[in-house]
Amino acid sequence: MLHVDLDQFIAAVEVARRPELRGRPVVVGGTGDPTARGVVSTASYEARAYGIHSGMPLRVAARRCPEAVFLPVDAPAYREVSERFVDALRRFPVVVEVLGWDEAFVGADTDDPEALAAGIRAAVREATGLGCSVGIGDNRLRAKLATGFAKPTAPGGGAAGHCFRLTRENWAAVMGGLPTSALWGIGGKTARKLAATGIGTVGQLAAADPARLAERFGPTMGPWFRALALGAGDAEVTAAPHVARSHSRESTFQHDLVDRAEIGRQVAELAGRVARDVADEGRPAVRVTVKVRFAPFLTHTHGLTLPAPTGDPGEITRAALTLLERFDLDRPVRLLGVRAEFADQGASDPP
């Protein structure tokens, strides 16, 4: 199993269109105006050296690197390059499972996965002009994590050939001493909770008492965390089309909203846009969630399950406005979001 990931995808697309930016710190996000509200979509490796990362406010990024080049998001351009990326993968006798614009799992029957990885990298470069890194593993978890060791930003400058193999044989040697947050599926918050129990590394988590983990983190999540530390994961790649679990729309306002009526109008507009996305998906929504981010950065969410699955714009809008009433709008609002969720399609991962 291979995991193929385009390097600094969005920034790389922009640099390919503007070769004069090569080697410079490039930040893509919002309208490209670092004085306006918005967040970083991606940053070039040169910009990341200044501590700039996805999700960071553009204003903060500008303070960290005033000489950075800021560019607006151009989704159609990224989508077109992504399609060429996927087409290049599908020319090989493999199973391709697309994960997003810039990454995919590849299932193959081969005795030389490194040679296959080299061929994929060459084909992607020819089709898109972009570089990619390839992780080789005996399941999804290990292949995904292997890609991180193949990246140019990995310690030592990345694995030779932008390819790295991580399997049962070298799992403990490679991963054992790393922090638990290095695992795909364990974020910073969970890592801190594990550290509070004396578990700081992947190796310590792998050796932890399952009963103790279940007691602390629940009978599902506790054992699952340990399974991740042991490198367990699904070994299947499917070519089935990606099925969205939800559709959402958000707006960040250049000036904080304080008028409740205006906030309601904005939520209704977002809900209408989400309802159109739901209609385009051709599946009814079963749950609606509203997000409110207050100034400066306090975010609250409320959600509710709909009485019956629906794609009716009126029902989705009414649900969103009902949820808005649950918020105490006692401070300025900088962002609003509405999400419509579809019925579970049978995902096997723990919640």
Kindly list the catalytic residues. Answer: 103
Cβ atoms of 89 and 4 closer than 8 Å: yes
Cβ atoms of 310 and 320 closer than 8 Å: no
Query: What would you report as the CA-atom Rg of the chain, rounded to the nearest whole angstrom?
Result: 22
**What are the C-alpha distances in Å from 126 to residues 52, 81, 108?**
29, 12, 21
Residues near 218 by beta carbon (within 8 Å), at least 6 away in sequence = none
Strands 95-100 and 132-137: unpaired
Cβ atoms of 110 and 116 closer than 8 Å: yes
DSSP tag of 258: -
Cα gap 312→275, rounded to integer Å: 7
**What are the C-alpha distances in Å from 351 to residues 138, 220, 225, 273, 344?**
24, 9, 12, 27, 11
Instruction: Locate 33 and state its tokens.
Output: 């105006």
Bond from prior residue into 19 cis (ω within 30 degrees of 0): no
Strands 298-310 and 285-294: antiparallel
Cα gap 316→241, rounded to integer Å: 26
Cα gap 227→212, rounded to integer Å: 14
* 78 burial level (CB within 10 Å; 0-12, 13-18, 19+): buried
